[in-house]
Chains A and B, each alone.
Chain A
Amino acid sequence: MKVLVPVKRVIDYNVKVRVKSDGSGVDLNNVKMSMNPFDEIAVEEAIRLKEAGKVEEVIAVSIGVKQAQETLRTALAMGADRAILVVAADDVHQDIEPLAVAKILKGVVEQEQPGLVLCGKQAIDNDMNATGQMLAALLGWSQATFASKVEIEGDKARVTREVDGGLQTIAVAMPAVVTVDLRLNEPRYASLPNIMKAKKKPLDEKTAEDYGVDVSPRLEIVGTTEPAARKAGVMVGSVDELVDKLKNEAGVI
C-alpha cells in the first residue's frame, strides 16, 4: 500500500506574526517558513507505518509556491520515499483555498492510487480544518479526523479520535482519509545523512493545470487584524475578592 501525505509550507510556529499594513494578510517577507506541524506528525506516522511493514511507499505532496520544494525536502529527509510538488501560485502571499487543494489532491490520488491519505487536521496559518474532509468527500472515501492513534488492520483502519470530552475509536473502511491531531506522535528530526540522501530522492514537479483545477480564490479576505493586546493582570488580595471580581466584573461565574 502507498500512503500519500500532503504537506503545507506555513509560517514557522516560532515566528511572531505581523499583519500587513493594508490588512490583506500576514507579512511573509523574510520570515522563516516550515512544514505545518500537524503535517510533520502525518509524515512521521506514515514513516512509522512503513517501518512497521504496513506500507510500502510514502509519497509527500505539496501544493503552493515553488519554495514548497523545501518543505518536501524536509519530508524526504524525515523518510518519505518521493515527492510531488504542484506549483499553483507565484506569490508567497497567495494561499490556495482548501477546496482547490482538495481537488488537486483528488487528481494526485487518482494517479497514485494510495490506500491511505494522512494529512494534518489543519494548517496553523489559516486554521481552516477543511482540506482532509473535502478530499474524502470528493473521493467518496471514508474519513477519520483528529486522530490520536492509527492502526491498520487489513482493509480497515482503527482510528482513535480526539473529540470534545474524550476519545472516540472508530473503524473505517480503506481507502480512507485520516487527519491527524497533535498527540498522535512526536515527529523525528532529519539526521544529517538523511538530509543529504533526500537531495537524491525523486521530486516531481507539476502544475495546477496538470490536474485541470482552477485555483482562483472564491473567498474574499475582508480584513486581517492583530489579536487584541492582553490587558495587564491584577493581583487580588483574597479568594473572596477573586470570586467577587469573577462574578461582578468578568461575569464568568
Chain B
Amino acid sequence: MIETPRHEEEHVSEIRSAVRAICARYSEDYWKDLDATHGYPTEFVAELTESGFLGCLIPEEYGGAGLGLPEACAILEEVSRAGGHPGAAHAQMYVMGSVLRHGTAEQKQKYLPKVASGELRLQSFGVTEPTTGTDTTSLKTTARREGDTYVVNGQKVWISRVQHSDLMVLLARTKPIEQRSRKTDGLSAFIVDLRGAEERGLTVKPIDAMINHHSCELFFDDFEIPAENLLGTEHEGFRVVMDGMNAERILIAAECVGDGRYFVDKAVAYANDRVVFGRPIGQNQGVSFPIAKAYAKVEAASLMVDRAAALFAAGKPCGAEANMAKMLAAEASWEAGDTCLQTHGGFGISREYHIERKLRETRLYQIAPISTNLILSYVSEHVLGMPRSF
C-alpha cells in the first residue's frame, strides 16, 4: 500500500484505520459475488451503521457523530480503497442533509435519530427524469395539493437504492412550468415514505445496469404524500436538494480517490511481482510510467477533494471546488483503473482480479451525479465568466 503523507487531524487517521479494519472483514470476493448476483451488502452496511460511521455527518444531538465532510470523505475513500463499493451505502450519509438544513424541528426530531441508528434508511433521492435528464428544472413529475395531501404523478429514472430505503427525498413540480417566475421556481421537495408505497401507487422497476448500484425506474400514479412531509418551503424545493449536491459531489470525489489509490496499489504490486522476459514487468518504463502518471493525477485530485471538503466544513462557498474535485477525481480514477487493467494484461480481464468490476464502478462517476460536461459548463460560466450556453 502506498501511503500518502497527509496533514490530517489525528482522529481522521484513526477513522481510516477503523474503516480499514471493518473492510478487511469483507473480502473483495464478497463484493464480486454481490456484483454477480445483484445483491445488496446488507451485512456490511449494518456494520458500518452500527459502528457509527454512516452517521458521521449527523449532529450529536440527533445521535450522530457531528463530524464534517473531511471525516466523511475519509470513510468513503477507505471503503473504495479496500475494494468495496461504497455507492451501495453512501447516500445514507448525505441525503439526510436536506432534512437537517431545511426540515422543521419536528421533522428533524422524527427522522434524524432513526437515520443515525440505521432504523430508518434514508438513502434514496429522486430527481432525474427520463425526458428531461440533466435539465433538472424542467422536470415534469407533478405534486398537486389536495387538502392535507400532495398527489404525485409522473416518472423518475435511475433512482438508486429505492428497494433498500425506507425514505426518499423527492423533487416534484408544484406549480405549472409556464407560471414559474424563474427556472428554479415551482419545484418542491418531499420526504416520501417508501414502506408499503407499492400498494399506494408507486411502481418500482429495477434497471439492468453495468454496475450493481440498485437503480430503478419509478412510476407515480396518484401517489399521495401527507402535506406535513413537504421539506422546506413550497415551490422552493430546488434549493433544498441543491445545497446537498456539493456534499454529494465531494463525497463521491473522495470515493474516486479511493478507487484511484486501489488501482495504483494493485498495479504497483503486480508490476513488481509479475516476471516476464526474466524481469519484473515494472522494470519496463512502458509499464511503470503510466502507473506513475496515474498516481500523480490521483494525488492531485485528492488535494482538490481536501480543499473542497475543508471549504464545505468551514461553511464557505465551494461549488467550483466540489465540481472540479468530482471531475478530476473521476477522471483520475478511470485513468488509474485503465492503467491497472493494462498492467495486469489478460489477468485484468478476469473477474477474479476485481479490477474490471472496480473499473465499471468508477466509470459511473463521470456521468452521475452530474456529468463532466455540466461541470465544465459550470466552471466556464460561473468561475471563468464566459457566456452561458444553455
Contacts and interface: CB of A to CB of B under 8 A. Distances in A.
Contacts of B67: 192, 196
A30 B5 contact: yes
Interface string A28-67: 0011101000000000000000000000000000000000
A43 B50 CA distance: 22
Residue among B13, B18, B55 facing the most chain A CB atoms (10 A cut-off): B18
A248 interface: no
Contact of B56 (A30, A32, A34, A192): A192
B14 A32 contact: no
Interface string B12-28: 01110110011000000
A30 B4 CA distance: 7
Contacts of A228: none
B105 interface: no
B379 interface: no
Interface stretch (A70-78, A97-105, A147-155, A161-169): A70-78
Interface string A64-95: 00000110011001000000000000000000
Contacts of A232: 275
B289 to A, nearest CB: 20
B3 A31 contact: yes
A69 B50 CA distance: 27
A21 interface: no
Contact of B11 (A16, A31, A196): A196
Contact of B14 (A15, A31, A73, A193): A73
Interface string A1-29: 00000000000101110000000000000
Interface in B1-43: 1, 3-5, 10-11, 13-15, 17-18, 21-22
A37 B114 CA distance: 35
Contacts of A198: 11, 14
Nearest to B269: A16
A192 B3 contact: no
Interface string B46-67: 0000111101100000000101
A199 interface: yes
A189 B10 contact: no
Contact of A192 (B4, B5, B21, B51): B51
B18 A190 contact: yes
A73 B65 contact: no
Given A69-B10, A74-B14, A192 B1 contact: no
A126 interface: no
A14 B262 CA distance: 13
Contact of A189 (B1, B22, B55, B56): B22
A238 interface: no
Given A70-B13, A70-B14, A189 B65 contact: no
B3 A189 contact: no
Given A15-B1, A232-B275, A192 B13 contact: no
A198 B10 CA distance: 11
B282 to A, nearest CB: 13
Residue among B50, B52, B275 facing the most chain A CB atoms (10 A cut-off): B52
Contacts of A195: 11, 14-15, 18
A77 B14 contact: yes
Contacts of A30: 3-5
A199 B11 contact: yes
Contacts of A69: 10
A192 B53 contact: yes
B14 A189 contact: no
Given A15-B3, A193-B65, A34 B10 contact: no
A111 interface: no
Nearest to B21: A189
Contacts of B51: 189, 191-192
Nearest to B272: A16
A15 B67 CA distance: 29
A77 to B, nearest CB: 6
A15 to B, nearest CB: 6
A190 B3 contact: no
B357 to A, nearest CB: 21
Given A196-B65, A232-B275, A190 B14 contact: yes
Contact of A73 (B3, B10, B21, B50): B10
Residue among B10, B15, B275 facing the most chain A CB atoms (10 A cut-off): B10
A15 B269 CA distance: 11
Interface in A181-238: 189-193, 195-196, 198-199, 232
Nearest to A33: B3
A205 B18 CA distance: 25
A200 B65 CA distance: 14
Nearest to A32: B3
Given A192-B56, A192-B65, A34 B11 contact: no
14 contacts: A15-B1, A16-B269, A32-B1, A74-B14, A77-B14, A189-B51, A191-B50, A191-B51, A191-B52, A192-B65, A195-B11, A195-B18, A196-B67, A232-B275
Interface of A: 12, 14-16, 30-32, 34, 69-70, 73-74, 77, 189-193, 195-196, 198-199, 232
Q: Please name the 7 residue pairs, one residue from A and one from B, whose CB atoms are nearest each other, closest first.
A: A192-B52, A189-B21, A191-B51, A32-B3, A189-B18, A190-B18, A192-B65
Interface of B: 1, 3-5, 10-11, 13-15, 17-18, 21-22, 50-53, 55-56, 65, 67, 269, 275
